[in-house]
């Protein structure tokens, strides 16, 4: 790995530490390098706080002069809740600025870079661009579509089963995989389950065993009485808790006596209801949703083609029968599958996980 990639990776690592905490801002990291040594790092503060570059510049102080700045996203050029970072970068006196990717936000997109270049500072862009994009793919999707980025997780046996023939699914994967699922929960704004999962598994949908904030909890049901006596409803005042209700009544948002937000989508059709939910969620600034099942909810998201990324876990075991992980009303032919683009495989203990961006061939 060359030095420039190494320093940008350090900036990416810095960004990853705050992923999930920065909404409605993207998670960004910055490092300042002087004479081949990282002298300061920074990452985005929670909403409305300082951006990554500002933290790093403040930490390095006068040592910025003549140093190199590595930042995972183009410095902003506009007044938001904070002043434009491009001005601070110019004032700091860097000899060189290395940027992983241009900001797709139409308020910035290239302007930050232009301003820095116009001040006579050398700017290099496109270093670790893929990684930088993936880190904030949910954010970039949300600001352009105004709908949440949807991630689907499934844990399966090697023959694609999510439960045995008696319905038992605990535990398919090992502790390392389950720990990573909690990391994924922490990186999403909301987590969603179907009615079957809500009532059968009675899940807490919290982040446990890793650092991170609990996501907003969402259950997809067909009437407001679902989930009685579940942990979900009983703890509705601990975290924002939403039941999305597909019925024929008018679209509206109410609050139940136990504190659950009731989102009536105004449609009893599963597909149309989910589509309307995505718009409502966008309006409520829910920029990412982690769908943990069950199979029916996942299938509806897939039929709507509303899945952006998959996380599929495989445990090294076979059943030879049971519940298939994925059953669509209209299965795809072999030459037109749902493909996982840019697939990445990671091992967790004895399990394997594949992640990739959904694309319909």
Residues contributing to the site for a second copy (CB under 8 A): 156-161, 163-166, 168-170, 172, 299, 302, 310, 312, 314, 316-322, 324-328, 330-335, 337-340, 343, 345, 347, 350, 352, 354, 356, 361
Closest contact distance (angstroms) between CB of 307 and a second copy is 10
Dihedral angle sign, alpha carbons of residues 327, 328, 333, 339: negative
Closest contact distance (angstroms) between CB of 317 and a second copy is 4
DSSP state of 330: S
Closest contact distance (angstroms) between CB of 31 and a second copy is 30
Cα torsion through 115, 117, 120, 121, rounded to 10: 110
Residue position matching structure tokens 């298939």 = 324
- Nearer to a second copy by Cβ, of 283 and 345: the residue is 345
- In 3D space, the residue among 99, 80, 206, 202 whose CA is nearest the CA of residue 143 turns out to be 80
CA of 148: how far to CAs of 40, 102, 138, 195, in Å? 34, 22, 7, 20
Active site residues: 53
- Nearer to a second copy by Cβ, of 170 and 248: the residue is 170
CB-count burial class (<10 Å; 0-12, 13-18, 19+) for 157? buried
- Nearer to a second copy by Cβ, of 120 and 320: the residue is 320
- Nearer to a second copy by Cβ, of 209 and 337: the residue is 337
The answer to whether 322 and 163 are in contact (CB under 8 A) is yes
**Token pair listed for 46:** 């929670």
Closest contact distance (angstroms) between CB of 288 and a second copy is 21
How many angstroms separate the CA atoms of 40 and 282, rounded?
A: 36
Compute the C-alpha angle 69/74/77, nearest 5°. 105
Compute the C-alpha angle 179/180/181, nearest 5°. 90
- Nearer to a second copy by Cβ, of 7 and 180: the residue is 180
């Amino acid at each position: 790995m060359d030095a420039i990639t190494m320093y940008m990776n350090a900036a990416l690592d810095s960004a990853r530490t705050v992923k999930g905490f920065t909404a409605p801002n993207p998670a960004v990291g910055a490092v300042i390098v002087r004479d081949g040594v990282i002298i300061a790092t920074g990452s985005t503060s929670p909403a409305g706080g300082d951006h990554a570059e500002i933290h790093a510049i403040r930490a390095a102080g006068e040592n910025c002069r003549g140093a190199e700045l590595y930042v995972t996203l183009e410095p902003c050029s506009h007044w938001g809740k904070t002043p434009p970072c491009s001005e601070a970068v110019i004032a700091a006196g860097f000899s060189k600025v290395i940027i992983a990717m241009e900001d797709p936000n139409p308020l910035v997109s290239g302007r930050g870079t232009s301003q820095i270049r116009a001040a006579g500072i050398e700017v290099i862009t496109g270093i670790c661009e893929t990684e930088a994009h993936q880190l904030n793919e949910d954010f970039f999707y949300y600001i352009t579509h105004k709908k949440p980025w949807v991630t689907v997780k499934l844990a399966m046996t090697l023959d694609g089963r999510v439960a045995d023939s008696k319905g038992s699914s605990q535990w398919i994967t090992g502790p390392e995989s389950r720990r990573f699922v909690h990391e994924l929960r922490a990186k999403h704004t909301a987590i969603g389950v179907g009615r079957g999962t809500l009532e059968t598994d009675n899940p807490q949908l919290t982040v446990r065993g890793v650092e991170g904030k609990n996501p907003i909890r969402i259950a997809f049901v067909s009437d407001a009485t679902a989930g009685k006596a579940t942990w979900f409803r009983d703890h509705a005042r601990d975290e924002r808790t939403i039941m999305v209700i597909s019925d024929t009544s008018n679209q509206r948002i109410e609050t139940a006596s136990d504190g659950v937000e009731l989102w009536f989508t105004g449609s009893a059709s599963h597909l149309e209801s989910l589509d309307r939910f995505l718009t409502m969620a966008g309006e409520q600034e829910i920029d990412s949703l982690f769908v943990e099942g069950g199979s029916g909810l996942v299938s509806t998201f897939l039929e709507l083609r509303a899945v952006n990324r998959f996380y599929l876990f495989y445990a090294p075991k076979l059943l030879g029968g049971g519940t298939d992980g994925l059953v669509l009303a209209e299965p795809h032919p072999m030459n037109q599958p749902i493909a996982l683009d840019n697939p990445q495989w990671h091992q967790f203990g004895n399990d394997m996980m594949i992640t990739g961006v959904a694309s319909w061939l």
